[in-house]
Structure 1
């Protein structure tokens, strides 16, 4: 059986997410309600008590009567009450056929979804083809001892953390929702400094909403020096994973690298709360850049990060490329190509 749950039905959306064997906060109704770039839906394929649910954003393609689907910012992809490693082939095939039939009911051209590096959703999505390797994410294994974890830090990281502790930098977990404005100020300054695109800029209400959700446990960590907050992170805890959703440091304090002390302290809290992994994420656009190297300073444990890129209607896809005078064989790594800001 197939059903489409819209953002108007919080209770049913949340019920499927909570029943899933593995999920992340990126799958939740609340997180999707914060995204205004498209119409959030939860596609559900169900057989008895077993199901696969796939959260997506439906968007109108500018200048056309067509639509495409994408995922929210973060790690999403399908979820299920069963382990993806043990899904039966026939069940996956029926999901595939039902999802394709859904796409054929409208002028739907493509689907793009980031996949979760920890859940092996690739086993299901490879039934369609279109799974692309995007890079790697770095994680810290919180099931080892703290001594073993810290022994794996790069020497320069260990030394920097030692110096920060010696100079009385303090990491606190905020219990005051009004502190969201402090983080908002730090984060906005940081994004402006690096020239981030508009979709990476959030207002204070967004941070308050993240910290107020009843669907996941989010915490605001702040690093203080001489009574002033100089760095911070919104950390979200879901199921067995703890991860930094957003992190920023004041420009004037970047040279001190307070985020290194912050990262170490987050692992301490993560252990106390019983989480299995601290997901640090990847580099910018998941390239092995300086940011990726910074994260590797804490751990050499990496997971593959993939995306799913599917053309549901080749005729409409090629029509859109032709209208925009785009080469269908372009090597530009952007999907769908007709939305590429580089060559559009």
Structure 2
């Protein structure tokens, strides 16, 4: 049996997530209410006492009668009341059949979902095809002693942390609206400085709603130099995993790298909260760039990050790509390609 749960069915959505053996805050009802890029739905397939659920965003494809399915910012993918490695082949095959029927009847042309690096969701998704290896993410193992963790730090990383101790930096957890406002300004300043895309910008209400939720554990941790806020991070704690959701530093203090001190402090907090891992994430676009290298200065625990890029109707997909002047076989790392805001000209990529 299958069902499609929307945001209007709050209690059902929450129950399926909470009863899953592995999930993250990215799967929750509240987090999906914060996304304005599509209509959130939770696809559920059930057999007896077992289920597989997949949160998605349904998006209309402009100037057509079709739609597609995407995912919220962060790591989602399917969840279940059992680990994927323990699911029967028949249950996974029946989920596939039901989901493909749903795609066809709802005229959904493609599906994009960011899979969670800690969960073996690929065991289910590889039955469809379209599992794409994006790169690596970095995590800190909180199950080992703190001093052992610190031995894994790059020498320069640890030096910045020690300088922060010497300078008397301190951390504070807060839900105060004024503090949230200050962090919002620092984060927005950071995104403008690095010329981030619109995808990485959020309004102030997003920050307030995220931090004030009672559906999952979300905290704003700030770094102070004296009485001045110079750095901060919004973290979540779910099923033994801390996610470094948003991190930002006041431009004037970037050369002191207080975020390194903050990362170390959050790892201490995580142990107190009984967390097992502190997930720092990957590089920009999940490339092994300077951001990835910064995170790799804390840990040698690297995880494979995969996404699901599935074309349900190849004929319609190719026609949608063709109408914006892109060759469907182009190697642009973007999916679905018909939503790409870049077109290749003379082997270069120009924004339009």
- State the TM-score, normalizing by the size of structure 1: 0.98
Give distance in 2, aligned partners of 1:248 and 1:325: 38
C-alpha displacement at 1:147, in angstroms?
A: 0.8
1:246 matched to 2:280? no
C-alpha displacement at 1:178, in angstroms?
A: 3.5
Structure 1 residue runs of 4 or more that deviate by more than 2 Å after TM superposition: 175-178
Which has the larger displacement, 311-320 or 50-59? Answer: 311-320
- Give the conservation status (yes or no) of the 8 Å contact 2:190–2:248: yes
Cα deviation digits, residues 106-142 of structure 1 (max 9, x gap): 2210000000000010000000010000000100000
Give distance in 2, aligned partners of 1:195 and 1:300: 29
| Counterpart in the other structure of 2:159 | 159
| Counterpart in the other structure of 1:234 | 234
Give distance in 2, aligned partners of 1:173 and 1:265: 11
Flag structure 1 segments of 5+ consecutive residues without an equivalent. Answer: none
C-alpha displacement at 1:54, in angstroms?
A: 0.1
| Counterpart in the other structure of 2:98 | 98
C-alpha displacement at 1:160, in angstroms?
A: 1.1
C-alpha displacement at 1:175, in angstroms?
A: 4.5
* CA RMSD between the two structures: 1.0
Instruction: For residue 342 of structure 2, give the secondary structure of its aligned residue in structure 1.
Output: coil
C-alpha displacement at 1:338, in angstroms?
A: 0.8
- Give the conservation status (yes or no) of the 8 Å contact 2:153–2:297: yes
| Counterpart in the other structure of 1:51 | 51
Instruction: For residue 229 of structure 1, give the secondary structure of its aligned residue in structure 2.
Output: strand
Give distance in 2, aligned partners of 1:256 and 1:106: 52
- Give the conservation status (yes or no) of the 8 Å contact 1:118–1:303: yes
Which has the larger displacement, 3-12 or 172-181? Answer: 172-181
| Counterpart in the other structure of 1:213 | 213
- Give the conservation status (yes or no) of the 8 Å contact 2:175–2:212: no
Flag structure 2 segments of 5+ consecutive residues without an equivalent. Answer: 344-351
Instruction: For residue 264 of structure 2, give the secondary structure of its aligned residue in structure 1.
Output: helix
| Counterpart in the other structure of 2:41 | 41
Structure 1 residues 1-344: aligned runs within 5 Å: 1-343=1-343
| Counterpart in the other structure of 2:346 | none
Query: What is the number of residues matched between the two proteins?
Result: 344
- State the TM-score, normalizing by the size of structure 2: 0.96
